């Protein structure tokens, strides 16, 4: 199954279960980010793990520890106004790439809750970006 097909399956499951992931992702807090493609302008949807930092949703552009950031990261940097679905809530948010030392603080906090992010960092030499999604309005 391709990444696109897998993401569609996760998103369909998320929406069918009123914003709750099931199966292998049942224990992971999940949200959906909808954004515009940087080059194409096409609408893209990505299910992503998240943590909270006060009123901000924190997401990590790990791409499972790949040598480069995931495509959604480049799209969100180019077009930082996104739609976020979390639970049954859907809202517009502004995405912001975190800088040091906040990036590291937020990455460590997420890795403490979801140790797979420690594994992802160990697989790559790049600094994995952390983004904060802040509700607009």
Per-residue confidence (pLDDT) for residue 86, from 0 to 100:
96
**How many domains, in total, are found in the chain?**
1
Token code pair at residue 90: 């859907």
Count Cβ atoms within 10 A of the Cβ of residue 10 and give its class: 0-12 exposed, 13-18 middle, 19 or more buried. buried
pLDDT band of 137, cuts 50, 70, 90:
confident
The residue among 27, 32, 26, 29 whose CA lies nearest residue 12 is 32
pLDDT in tens, 74-108: 999 999 999 999 999 999 999 999 999 999 999 99
We report the CATH number of the domain holding residue 116 as 2.30.110.10
pLDDT in tens, 102-116: 999 999 999 999 999
Per-residue confidence (pLDDT) for residue 24, from 0 to 100:
79
Q: Domain range for residue 25?
A: 3-135
* Total-model pTM: 0.93
């Amino acid at each position: 199954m391709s990444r696109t097909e897998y993401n569609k399956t996760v998103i369909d499951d998320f929406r069918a279960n009123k914003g709750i992931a099931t199966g292998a992702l049942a224990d992971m807090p999940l949200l959906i980010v909808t954004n515009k493609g940087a080059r194409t302008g096409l609408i893209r949807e990505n299910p992503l793990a998240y943590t909270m930092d006060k009123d901000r949703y924190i997401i990590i552009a790990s791409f499972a520890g790949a040598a480069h950031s995931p495509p959604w990261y480049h799209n969100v940097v180019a077009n930082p106004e996104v739609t976020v679905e979390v639970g049954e809530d859907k809202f517009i948010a502004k995405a912001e790439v975190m800088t040091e030392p906040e990036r590291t603080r937020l990455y460590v906090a997420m890795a403490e809750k979801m140790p797979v992010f420690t594994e992802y960092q160990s697989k790559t030499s790049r600094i994995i970006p952390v983004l904060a999604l802040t509700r607009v309005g």
